Structure 1
Amino acid sequence: MTPSERPRRLNLQQRSVLAGEAAAASAEVETALSTPSDTAAAAFFDVDNTIMQGASIFHLARGLHRRQFFTTREIASAAWKQAYFRVVGVEDPEHVAEARSSALSFIAGHTTTELEELTEEIFDEAMAHRIWPGTRALAQLHLDEGQRVWLVTAAPIEIAAVIARRLGLTGAMGTVAEHVDGVYTGRLVGDLLHGPAKAEAIKALAAREGLDLALCSAYSDSSNDLPMLELVGDPCAINPDARLRAHARAQGWRVRDYRTGRKAARAGLTAAAVAGAVSGAVAAGLGVRAARRPNDA
């Protein structure tokens, strides 16, 4: 690492830690509602393509688009740009960081209450029927054993909290948007809860709740979540991408695939490049709206 690279990398790590700590803190209200009999073990579930088919941020974006939060042209333009970078493999890390940092800027000026109410509506419209029954059953097994179950996702905490509440889970940790007096500023607290940030969130929550990570379980579809999966004693790959499937088999981890054979094969070839691009692009597209005047079409 050169001297010029060190400050930037350190800054990225600091943002991951901040995002993880903010996500863990946001789970406090939910955990207060549960009374687990097993206080040492817990389970952590990714959301997109793990507990829900597709990307939750995409479903939220589509619902907000129907409510005229932004235009079709804005979201399509951002989607194409992100998909191109991912498919051809020349994605600029700084460009990605900028896109991620603007992922929630579309809600600037809106209240937390407004977004929570809309998310409840959009969950019923577009998300409830997309929950994977197999993954839901795994989460219920942990609950039945007296363990707490948290969602851990890069999606906004508002989405994650609704999903967790509707499924009867303990709580959720997700990307936290800054807000002052109940009004969103359009900035993130730290960074997206993605990759290493998820592991930081789990470590912060485990320290606060007295969890033994060696007794905990984690579930994800993506190799991006290896930091989270490798943190616990019982990792499981759900609907895995090709890299995660290979890693899980090499490590002797459990693997569960609830997709059809055709969907699983297609996902193994293209999900990381295209499906991930679409969900990331939606987030970038949402940020475009914040740069416009409120009455722009």
Structure 2
Amino acid sequence: MAGDRTRRLDLQQRSRLAGEAAAAAAEVEHALTTPADATSAAFFDVDNTVMQGASIFHFARGLYRRDFFSTRDLLNAAWKQTYFRIAGVEDPEHVAEARNSALAFIAGHTVAELEEIGEEIFDEAMAHRVWPGTRALAQMHLDQGQRVWLVTAAPIEIATIIARRLGLTGALGTVAEHVDGVYTGRLVGDLLHGPAKAVAVEALAEREGLDLARCSAYSDSYNDLPMLGMVGDPCAINPDPRLRAHARSAGWRVRDYRTGRKAARAGLMLGSAAAGASLAGAVARRRLLRGRG
């Protein structure tokens, strides 16, 4: 019992530290530096809300292609991405594993290096995965003179690139520790996930003078209820089953930009098998070429 309480307190402390670090690291982009509606803003989750799949996986795959880490690491990430897309929910065990290993593969690399590579990876693997419907919602808020922030467990550097390339105000993301511009491979607190997102939004709102009752929030995941529940206008985007049920009972808006969800999930299963075969073939070819070299 005491051990469970200690773990809960530890999680709360890590979440708060992660949220505060994310808010402190957030920089305002140039899309809307002097908003017409200064006390209202919109907050968007990224994975499966703004773009299809997990942004950290797309980023990791891009790093793999640049020989940042091993095939085994990528296959492990691929399995978690496949589960995420088919099940439509985040497994708590996967989140815990991610916390223990998150960003370890960037240890020793510089912030400048990751930012430059991140720009390339956005063009290669992320830009075409953005949901047009969600992008239109974000633009609607911008057109109304409101600021629009991404709130994601992805690294703050990647989140900021996505925000900038979409013309949004800025981003809140997971903060990786770095010393003299070089990553240590450790997180500041925890992943920006679940309760940590609410802490980050609250801290940002206080800093920017936002009235949360006049703000909107968008997510696909039940895990983001802390963030969704703190604003006056929550909306479920491509929701997982638990969030869909909660949104309906609470009278929240629901938007689903996926088409033929059941068929899509079956297709994803087949596609995942094909992707696995393709990846295995690519690995074999790489090893063969290296052997010839």
Q: TM-score range by the shorter chain?
A: 0.7 to 0.9
Quote the Cα distance in structure 2 between the aligned partners of 1:7 and 1:82: 31
SS in 2 for 1:68: coil
Contact 2:61/2:74, CA 8 A, preserved across alignment: no
In structure 2, what is the equivalent of residue 155 of structure 1? 154
1:98 to partner: Cα distance: 4.8
Q: For residues 148 and 97 of structure 1, do their structure 2 counterparts lie closer, same or farther at Cα, with a shift above 3 Å needed?
A: same
Q: For residues 222 and 158 of structure 1, do their structure 2 counterparts lie closer, same or farther at Cα, with a shift above 3 Å needed?
A: same
Quote the Cα distance in structure 1 between the aligned partners of 2:216 and 2:56: 25
In structure 1, what is the equivalent of residue 181 of structure 2? 182
Contact 1:41/1:148, CA 8 A, preserved across alignment: yes
Superposition pairs of residues 58-77 of structure 1, within 5 angstroms:
58-77=57-76
SS in 2 for 1:38: coil
SS in 1 for 2:2: coil
> Is it true that 1:121 corresponds to 2:100 in the alignment?
no
Contact 2:156/2:175, CA 8 A, preserved across alignment: yes
Superposition pairs of residues 18-33 of structure 1, within 5 angstroms:
18-30=17-29
Q: What is the aligned-residue identity percentage?
A: 79
Superposition pairs of residues 1-297 of structure 1, within 5 angstroms:
2-30=1-29, 34-77=33-76, 96-262=95-261, 266=265
Quote the Cα distance in structure 2 between the aligned partners of 1:61 and 1:79: 10
Contact 1:17/1:197, CA 8 A, preserved across alignment: yes
Quote the Cα distance in structure 1 between the aligned partners of 2:204 and 2:113: 28
With CA pairs under 8 Å and 6+ residues apart, which has the higher RCO, 1 or 2?
1
Q: One-letter code of the match for 1:37?
A: A
Quote the Cα distance in structure 1 between the aligned partners of 2:131 and 2:82: 26
1:261 to partner: Cα distance: 1.8
Quote the Cα distance in structure 1 between the aligned partners of 2:52 and 2:120: 18
Contact 1:101/1:191, CA 8 A, preserved across alignment: no
Report the TM-score when normalising by structure 1: 0.82
1:4 to partner: Cα distance: 2.8
SS in 2 for 1:169: coil
Quote the Cα distance in structure 2 between the aligned partners of 1:111 and 1:151: 23
Quote the Cα distance in structure 2 between the aligned partners of 1:102 and 1:189: 13
SS in 2 for 1:59: helix
Q: One-letter code of the match for 2:50?
A: I
Q: One-letter code of the match for 2:145?
A: G
Contact 1:149/1:169, CA 8 A, preserved across alignment: yes
Contact 2:57/2:81, CA 8 A, preserved across alignment: no
SS in 1 for 2:29: helix
Q: For residues 11 and 110 of structure 1, do their structure 2 counterparts lie closer, same or farther at Cα, with a shift above 3 Å needed?
A: same
SS in 1 for 2:36: coil
Q: For residues 55 and 77 of structure 1, do their structure 2 counterparts lie closer, same or farther at Cα, with a shift above 3 Å needed?
A: closer
Q: Deviations over 1:250-296 (max 9, x none)?
A: 111000011112358739xx99xxx9xxxxxxxxxxxxxxxxxxxxx
Report the TM-score when normalising by structure 2: 0.83
- Unaligned regions of 5+ residues in structure 2, if any? 273-293
In structure 2, what is the equivalent of residue 288 of structure 1? none
Q: Deviations over 1:211-231 (max 9, x none)?
A: 111100000011111111001
1:33 to partner: Cα distance: 6.5
SS in 2 for 1:28: coil
Q: One-letter code of the match for 2:103?
A: L
Q: For residues 81 and 234 of structure 1, do their structure 2 counterparts lie closer, same or farther at Cα, with a shift above 3 Å needed?
A: closer
Contact 1:101/1:188, CA 8 A, preserved across alignment: no
Contact 1:177/1:188, CA 8 A, preserved across alignment: yes
Matched residues, number = 264
Q: For residues 233 and 20 of structure 1, do their structure 2 counterparts lie closer, same or farther at Cα, with a shift above 3 Å needed?
A: same
SS in 2 for 1:258: coil
Quote the Cα distance in structure 1 between the aligned partners of 2:104 and 2:28: 25
Q: Deviations over 1:90-139 (max 9, x none)?
A: x885x853531321111000000000000000000011111111100100
Q: One-letter code of the match for 2:261?
A: R
Quote the Cα distance in structure 2 between the aligned partners of 1:9 and 1:241: 25
